[in-house]
Amino acid sequence: MSHLTHLTRRMAFALAASLAFALALPAPSLAATRIQHLISPGGIEAWFVQDATVPLIAMEYAFGGGASQDPADKPGVGNLVASTIDEGSGNLDSNAFHERLDRRAIELNFSVTRDNFRGSLRMLKDNKDEAFDLLHMALTSAHLSKEDVERIRAQIMSGLHRDTTNPNSLASRKFLEVAFPGHPYGRPGTGTLESVPTITVADMRDYIKRVIARDTLKIAVVGDVDPATLGQLLDKTFGDLPARSNLTAVPDVAATAPPQRTFVPLDVPQTTITFGGPGFLRRDPNFMAAYIDNHIIGGGGLSSRLYREVREKRGLAYSVFESLLWMDHSALVVGNTGTRADRAGDSLDAVEKEVGKFAEDGPTQQELDEAKSYLKGSQMLQLDTSSKLASALLQYQLDKLPIDYLEKRAGIIDAVTLDDAKQAAKRLFGEGLLTVVVGREPQAATQSAGAPGIPPPPKAN
């Protein structure tokens, strides 16, 4: 079977499985959800919600490490591992491995974040033994054959080439470089055009040996399986992994202090602006105040202040958003908008003015009350399937939150006062913004009368 045919079949089965899961009955209501702290006979721990509503099982899991464990001179190793680890293992080559997944509509995926090597497994209840067996094979006996590695490497390189002309990709990469110079968080997780060709199979096997181990493993499972059976499956899947990882220490780092502006030249009709600055760590006692502020200023979609000022009142951009990004060792607030090249100065000025106003005055009591109501009410929609609930439970573990966090969350939101929100707003934006502008030379832009333009900043290295 040709690779193209195999890929087409794989996408079709994945789509069908995705639709099946998406259309499945929802996860149990949060009020009825009982999260168990399951410990298998072999000592594997998991957060578990038993749900027999439909005969499905969803598992999310993560190992500590992620892209921050890539060698400094070879960013992209973890991403190449995640993209290749399921391309044949045990006695199955790539085609045979994926045909077994397809035949049973099993979804098996791997990915890398800055701090974690993550995976997900979804299946029908009747196919659980085969699904967990295939995951075990991928984790313990991945082939990483030259043919498969080179095929996946070519796909990654193709994406990296496309990124060189993608304003959003360029802006995101440059923003992280500016925010975290010389730190692993400042390196691109997918690698670079220079680094990816140098990654060897030995590099990949070394990454697997150092990262995939039981001591950093976090697991969340939601679905139609009893605790005893799940415990046996977890032992069978993860029990013979190395007991301890060998991770390179990643130092805590404070993001670059604003204000700072960087320009990346690119001859495209639309200018992309990425903006932000230091954020709040998840363990910060005022994190929830910052989370609510984020919703008000830029995370609330059509209701956010930035959307109203930049899109509705001035028509400068189709969309503008802003969000919190927290990692194990640092945190950011990051926003993005795109605008016509000749309106870039107007757009940036509008963003900076609104952010500055928010830093000085904070939200109003009405904005705070409405944001609280939305954030509490939207929780049900965000966790309305087994897969979403499993993903959330895994993230809560990675964030070191208590197992009863879902029950406490509404109370934590309600406890945020207007003074808390104002103080958080000042911390987030009081010093101004880190800004990356990707597009044509600012001098070529035509600014509206009286509007301050973008002064010519130094070009990116």
Per-run averaged pLDDT (10 residues), the chain, 461 residues: 39 38 44 83 98 96 98 97 96 96 97 98 98 98 97 98 96 98 97 98 98 98 98 98 98 97 93 97 97 94 88 84 96 95 90 96 97 92 90 97 96 98 98 95 42 36 42
CATH for 260-444? 3.30.830.10
Pairing, β 107-112 against β 270-278? unpaired
How far is residue 52's CA from residue 17's CA, in Å, rounded to a whole number? 19
Question: What is the topology classification, in CATH, of domain 3-23+32-238?
Answer: Cytochrome Bc1 Complex; Chain A, domain 1 (3.30.830)
Q: Report the pLDDT value the prediction gives residue 167, as an integer from 0 to 100.
A: 96
Which parts of 246-323 fold into alpha helices (H)? 287-294, 305-306
Question: Helices (DSSP H) in 241-343: which residue ranges?
Answer: 287-294, 305-306
What pTM was estimated for this model as a whole?
A: 0.88
* pLDDT given for residue 33 in this prediction: 66
Q: Which candidate, 446, 442, 385, places its Cα nearest to that of 49?
A: 385
Query: If we measure between CA atoms, which residue out of 4, 12, 48 comes closest to residue 27?
Result: 48
Report long-range pairs for 34-38 (Cβ below 8 Å, ≥24 apart): 35/393, 35/403, 35/404, 35/406, 36/227, 37/403, 38/221, 38/227, 38/230, 38/231, 38/234
Helices 128-141 & 227-238, crossing angle to 10 degrees? Answer: 20
For the chain, residues classed under CATH 3.30.830.10 are 3-23+32-238, 260-444
Q: Which residues pair with 124 in a beta bridge?
A: 56
Say if residues 173 and 185 touch (Cβ distance below 8 Å): no
Phi and psi angles of residue 213, each rounded to the nearest 5 degrees, phi first? -150, 165
State the DSSP code for 197. G
**Which pLDDT value is given to residue 314?**
84
CA distances from 314 to 166, 341, 418 (A): 26, 15, 29
Find where tokens 């990425």 sit.
274
Partners of residue 331 on adjacent β-strands: 326
| Distance in angstroms (rounded) separating the CA atoms of residues 205 and 114 | 19
Q: Which long-range contacts (C-beta less than 8 Å, at least 24 apart) are formed by 177-180? A: 178/256, 178/260, 178/262, 178/434, 178/436, 179/255, 179/256, 179/276, 179/277, 179/332, 179/434, 180/253, 180/255, 180/256, 180/330
What pLDDT does residue 28 have?
A: 52
Amino acid (one-letter) located at 251: P
